[in-house]
Amino acid sequence: MSRATPEDLPALLQLLTGSGLPVDDLDDPQANVQLFVARDTQGLAGVVGLQLAGDRGLLRSLVVAPERRGQGWGRALVTEAERAALREKLHELVLLTETAAPFFEHLGYRAADRGGMPAAVQATRSFASLCPATARCLSKPLELAIYHNGNCGTSRNVLQILRQASLEPRIIEYLRTPPDRQTLLHLLQRMEMRPRELLREKGTPYAELGLDDPALSDDTLIDHMLAQPILINRPIVVAPWGVKLCRPSETAREFLGLA
């Protein structure tokens, strides 16, 4: 993924117009649209746009080349736009769509009131005139959080990586305010991890509790993690596009698109 260059413009405009997406304001500097492109060995695979509108962003101009659809490019392009939105310190992403609502809903976007959007969003040409009144409005809050233990070197390193990138996450001191069962299960689901994979052995009562017993159920392991949060490995970074246990700390750069 990369920012679009002037050389990319003819191909991406052709891709957008071929999919019936508006392009009239893309060359207007006042529109404040950032375009990102995905490429593979065959050339341009897709494009997505992020339009700044106050403390919100308008996610727009998402299209994948027809011959590359079904390969994950659409999701990857949305992730790139969400990463850019975090770097811009935006609070929410908003979009209008006539045909792709199920795709965006799968990525966490929810129905929103088009008429209730802030004035800066309403003033964009996409909202005011380019997108028809029949287009559905969806939005997604942009949260960045870290389940953090200040005594852990890896956790401190990841927090430093975020701050060096001008990203200020919500810090969850999980030893003081541990997650409840539903939250922990949700984190595991988003990380596609089993409870045993999230268990921490070093510096914990793992051995004395006999947690190495393979017969222990997932529910039992979760019970132990809730009772003694030190057993939850860290740091866990929560971003709009996913959740990741960032060990070693350098994995945070790739996860956040900083590599």
pLDDT < 70 stretches in the chain: 259
137 is catalytic: no
Q: Where are the domains of the chain?
A: 2-141, 145-255
Q: What's domain 2-141's superfamily in CATH?
A: Gcn5-related N-acetyltransferase (GNAT) (3.40.630.30)
Q: What residues are paired with 173 via a beta bridge?
A: 148
Catalytic choice (131, 137, 152, 246): 152
Q: For position 81, what pLDDT does the model report?
A: 97
CA distance 49 to 21: 11
Q: For position 41, what pLDDT does the model report?
A: 87
Considering the entire predicted model, what is its pTM?
0.92
CATH code assigned to 145-255: 3.40.30.10
Residue for token digits 């190495």? 212
CA nearest 61: which of 102, 121, 14, 108? 14
Alpha-carbon torsion (249, 197, 200, 167), positive or negative: positive
Q: For position 1, what pLDDT does the model report?
A: 86
